[in-house]
Homo-oligomer: A and B are copies of this chain.
């Protein structure tokens, strides 16, 4: 493969990652459309012009951040939904989101903030990823016995509700901050129970 691991490439990836990390940190207190190129390079400790060696502009860096935040999540989500019992699945789903918020809060904040943010390319990238999540969740649901008789459209709707709820839960867990997590988690579990009840009686 073109997986060259020369000293050259390694150093380049290193500063590229440093740029992404610095941007992510700076984005905790502002939004992407106000983040300056010089601001990021200054935080890393490189010349402003070095930025262009890695990204065309800030929108480009934003899209890369979307991939970094959401790209590696597709495996975990299907796994959590594999749980057969309703309450256990709810528990695992909320736990998954909670751990995500705990381990990488800045990524979560970035997604929540830029999902409807001012940079079109980033909005589109996030929407695309969330759509993929929706499709995968719908596929997971389709494999369950409880989904017998459901139309594809209804299944996709339900999956969308789940995905939207996960994003919302992540955001509220973030806002809750330390101490309020348990309360926010309990609320999210109750909401998921409500949705599960609706699902169970959908075909009545």
Contacts and interface: CB of A to CB of B under 8 A. Distances in A.
Given A194-B195, A202-B194, A157 B118 contact: no
Contacts of A46: none
A27 B160 CA distance: 28
Contacts of A115: 116
Nearest to A158: B194
A117 B200 CA distance: 36
A124 to B, nearest CB: 10
Contact of A113 (B109, B118, B175): B118
A191 B161 contact: yes
A175 B34 CA distance: 22
A79 to B, nearest CB: 24
A158 B190 CA distance: 9
Given A34-B34, A116-B116, A195-B198, 12 more contacts: A27-B118, A31-B32, A31-B34, A33-B34, A34-B118, A117-B117, A157-B187, A160-B191, A194-B195, A194-B198, A198-B198, A198-B201
23 contacts: A27-B118, A30-B118, A31-B32, A31-B33, A31-B34, A33-B34, A34-B34, A113-B116, A113-B118, A127-B175, A154-B190, A158-B194, A160-B187, A160-B191, A194-B199, A194-B202, A195-B195, A197-B197, A197-B198, A197-B201, A198-B198, A198-B199, A200-B201
